[in-house]
Amino acid sequence: MDVKESIQKRRSVRAYKDRDVSDSLINELIEAARLAPSGNNIQPWKFFVVKNTETKKKLKTNKAFYNDFVYEASVIIICCADPNEYVKKKGRDSGNEMRAVRDLSLAAAFLVLRATELGLGTCFVGWIDQEKIKEVLNIPGHYIVPYVIPVGYPDGEPRYKETKGRDEIILQNQNI
Ligand SMILES: Cc1cc2nc3c(=O)[nH]c(=O)nc-3n(C[C@H](O)[C@H](O)[C@H](O)COP(=O)(O)O)c2cc1C
């Protein structure tokens, strides 16, 4: 599968087969994220990989995620960004939350595209309680957790989605 096909095939998958995703595949996903671009090459991303049933149960008990399908995935990747990296490495004292989320999201996009290529289903899930997640997983308080990504083998077809046409997303159309 090439990048074009992966982009076309990727969909939000919210139902997963009862089948484990291997560690070597998880490593492939993290590797795709690791190679992403970032402003000033800061690479502010951190990923907490949840596989353990007990940990999933703890997250569920604490209502860390509001979508129940998240707990059903073989793996849940907690996507974090450390805004302090820009202070430490570049002395920037404002705008770091935006930078951190921006850079993390590029890495996360690489991750989900690689997952698609590997036959895995993913979904960005932002309907979460980031403070609860940090508390349960002992993630540093200043990290930002904008979303998590459940990963599993897709069960069924994704729902229909509408997409905007080119005319709706291109601001200047004269030369195209
Ligand atoms: C940042 C972000 C947060 C999202 N949060 C949720 C969520 O909390 N729950 C959910 O079911 N889907 C969530 N989605 C998935 C979107 O609903 C989905 O991407 C959109 O409907 C387009 O469908 P597609 O991903 O299949 O192309 C989120 C997507 C993004 C990019």
CB 107 within 8 A of CB 36: yes
- The pLDDT, as a whole number, for residue 111 is 98
- The pLDDT, as a whole number, for residue 74 is 98
Which single residue is written with the structure tokens 């190679």? 35
Site to substitute for ligand 1 among 11, 116, 123, 144, most atoms within 8 A of C-beta: 123
First to last CA, the chain: 28
Identify the residue whose C-alpha is closest to ligand 1 atom 25: 12
DSSP H helical ranges for 35-129: 53-61, 69-72, 84-90, 96-117
Looking at the DSSP bridge assignments, the partners of residue 15 are none
Q: DSSP code of 73?
A: S
- The pLDDT, as a whole number, for residue 93 is 81
Stated pTM of the model? 0.96
Q: Which CATH number fits domain 3-154: 1.10.10.60, 3.40.109.10, 3.90.1150.10, 3.40.50.720?
A: 3.40.109.10
- The pLDDT, as a whole number, for residue 92 is 82
- The pLDDT, as a whole number, for residue 174 is 66
Residues of the chain with pLDDT under 50: none
**Angstrom distance (rounded) from CA 154 to CA 156:** 6
Q: How much distance in Å is there from the Cα of 87 to the middle of ligand 1?
A: 31
- The pLDDT, as a whole number, for residue 103 is 98
- The pLDDT, as a whole number, for residue 176 is 54
- The pLDDT, as a whole number, for residue 102 is 98
Measured from CB, residues less than 6 Å from any atom of ligand 1 are: 11-12, 14, 67, 123-127, 147, 158, 161
Identify the residue whose C-alpha is closest to ligand 1 atom 13: 125
